[in-house]
Amino acid sequence: MVRAPICEVCQRSDYLCPVDEEKLKKGEISELDVRISRILYDLDSKYRIGDTVEFVRAYDMNSFVLILVRGEIGRLIGKNGKVLRAFRQAVGKPVRIVEIDVDLRKTIQDLFGGVRVIGINKLFRPDGVVYRIVVARKDVRKLSFPYPDVQKALDILLDQPHEVTFI
């Protein structure tokens, strides 16, 4: 079973237990997190995703849904993308699954998808550290989603200031 921010009983039912209801009221989880957790529970029973994947958080980026996970991201994609297609259909929007708590380059590459991330530089400026993400200009048209939505997703993934440079 996929690990999620809500308990297994809440994933199976349409109601939240008092503990998860309190998490929702405090803002630790959102309605989208609850919905995605329940979708993953249903998909796990059909495709046997397993407990090697931990769903962390979901964000609505207007043109797509950003799913943050830990563990084996390939289990959520499935053989020939079968699980991912079922996941997209259940959510009703395009989905971008990003693995966090690995190296920064892999996380950003997961977000950009087919666009090559040439490098990630750390710039030390008087006002603090800034990340510069260098992307190939000719690959920008391969970007699956509008750039402002991807920029908003980068703001969520990186807690520090950053800039994207196209060369």
The DSSP secondary structure of 93-137, one letter per residue, reads S-EEEEE-SS-HHHHHHHHHTTS-EEEEEEEEETTEEEEEEEE-G
Look at residues 84, 101, 118 and tell me which one is the last residue of a structural domain: 101
Residue that finishes a domain, picked among 82, 101, 120: 101
Assess whether 69 and 124 both reside in one domain: no
Structural domains counted in the chain: 2
Residues 17 and 77 in one domain: yes
Beta-carbon neighbour count of residue 4 at 10 Å? 23
Stated pTM of the model = 0.91
For residue 57, what is the DSSP state?
E
pLDDT for 126: 94
Q: In 3D, which of 63, 50, 43 has the Cα closest to residue 3?
A: 50
pLDDT attached to residue 140: 86
pLDDT of residue 24 exceeding 90, the answer is: yes
**How far is 154 from 165, CA to CA, in rounded Å?**
13
Task: Give backbone dihedrals phi and psi of 66, rounded to 5 degrees, phi first.
Answer: -90, 120
Answer yes or no: are the C-beta atoms of 135 and 115 closer than 8 Å: yes
Shared-domain flag, residues 165 and 84: no
User: pLDDT tens digits, residue range 76-109?
Assistant: 888 999 999 999 999 999 999 999 988 999 999 9
88 and 143 belong to one structural domain: no
Please tell me whether residues 94 and 23 are part of one structural domain. Answer: yes
Average per-residue pLDDT in the chain? 92
- What CATH code is carried by the domain that includes residue 130? 3.30.300.20
Q: How many CB atoms lie within 10 A of CB 123?
A: 12
Range of the structural domain that residue 131 is part of: 103-167
